[in-house]
Amino acid sequence: MSDARPAGSLDLERFVRERRSRWTRLESLLDAVERLPDHELGATRLLELVRLYRQTCSDLNEARSGTANAALLARLNTLAGRGYRIVYRRSHGRRFTEEAREFFATGAPLAFRRERSYVLAAATAFVLGALLGLGAVIADPANAERLIPPQFHTESPRARVERIEASEERISSLEEAAEFSSFLFSHNIQVSFLAFSLGALTLIGGAWILFYNGVLLGAVAASYLIDGVPAFFMAWVGPHGALELPAIVFGGAAGLRLGSALLLPGPLATGTALRRALPSVWRMLLLTAVVLVAAGLVEGSFSQMTARTIPYPAKIAVAALLFAGLLGWLFARRGAPEAA
């Protein structure tokens, strides 16, 4: 190919050599998609097509700014046009249930695996806070009054356990459980949104709110441990905490991801860094909200049951299964491509 632009504007041979294989792959995918019905395409093939379509659009923009080679521009224009018609025709025509199925089956897990470093950073901040709170109260039980807000420190853990286990079940009807759950997941979403917002705007603020919430959890856990009722704490907090605490970390991780693109874009322009971050961020936030709703439903019903109704070991086992299931679903590899 010949380049009519001044020398040095684009290394055309290298540009074509490095990217030709994905253009060829996109052509073959478009050929297959155009002759197959939707139900035979599969989520993996569609995700690959969308990824290659976006990369080809980026290649087209780069080629337009660096060369006037008519043959290359025509090929990329044709690919981008075909890709646009397929991607947006199919996405607008798909039913909500198909979109939801794809989100839960591949979209959300891929986003979390792609951004696992931010999830790890958020989890580290939370766990370090929990260890500090736990250690501080074990070292000096008086620190519990200093670390735990007064409204949550009105009686000793043992006295609270005895009172709860001797009283009637707190949730006596489905309507009452639903009302209580609605309050809980509304509050939890506020906490997660705060972690997200502070992370997106300041980075340090997001890490701090995660660390602070970890300190509170560690201090409360230590109080129950010192008072000799750790099983109650694990059975009471575990079932909903297995979902709620990771979800708060996920919200904070989404904030850190967006904040890094906004405040520390590196060699990329800020707009480019944000465009690359947003597909993962919105998926992480949507999944966070869904998990928090589930945690609220568990907290408003199952978690409230005393040992007379559900033994502690059963509740702790459910907590372990929920936690392992959530992390396994999001982070276990299933062979799908991770590139966006």
What tokens appear for 17 in the block? 């050599």
- One-letter amino acid at 50 equals V
Do 119 and 253 touch, CB atoms closer than 8 A? Answer: yes
The Cα 42–Cα 48 span in angstroms is 10
Integer CA distances (angstroms), 137 to 126, 195, 220, in order: 17, 25, 9
CB atoms within 10 A of CB 263: 14
CB-neighbour burial class of residue 101 (10 A; exposed 0-12, middle 13-18, buried 19+): middle
Largest CA-CA distance found in the chain, in angstroms, rounded: 86
The pLDDT, as a whole number, for residue 6 is 46
pLDDT digits (tens, 9 = 90+) for 287-329: 999 998 898 888 878 888 888 889 999 999 999 999 999 999 9
Has this prediction a pTM greater than 0.85? Answer: no
CA 235 – CA 134 distance, rounded (Å) = 18
Do 303 and 158 share a structural domain?
A: yes
Is the pLDDT at 179 greater than 60? The verdict is no
Confidence of residue 197 (pLDDT cuts 50, 70, 90): very high
275 and 133 together in one domain:
yes
Is residue 340 domain-resident? no
307 DSSP 8-state letter: T
The residue behind tokens 């006295």 is 159
Q: Domain for residue 175, yes or no?
A: yes
Nearest Cα neighbor of 250 from 302, 297, 295, 313 is 295
User: Does residue 340 contact residue 257 with C-beta atoms inside 8 Å?
Assistant: no
Q: Any idea which residue has 């917002």 for tokens? A: 197
- Domain containing 116 equals 110-331
* The two three-digit tokens of residue 233, written as one number: 């704490």
* pLDDT-wise least confident of 49-53, 96-100, 168-172, 294-298: 168-172
Matching residue, tokens 């090929």 = 75
What is the number of alpha carbons within 13 Å of residue 296 lying toward its C-beta? 21
First to last CA, the chain: 30
- Both 85 and 114 in a single domain? no
**Are 49 and 156 in the same domain?**
no
- Are residues 302 and 224 part of one domain? yes
Total count of domains within the chain: 2
Whether 187 is covered by a domain: the verdict is yes
Residues 70 and 214 occupy one common structural domain: no
Q: Are residues 226 and 251 in the same domain?
A: yes
Does 335 or 225 have the greater pLDDT score?
A: 225
| Confidence class for position 175, pLDDT limits 50, 70, 90 | low
Task: Confirm whether 102 is domain-assigned.
Answer: no
How is 43-99 classified by DSSP, letter by letter? HHHHHHHHHHHHHHHHHHHHHHHH---HHHHHHHHHHHHHHHHHHHHHHHHS-HHHH
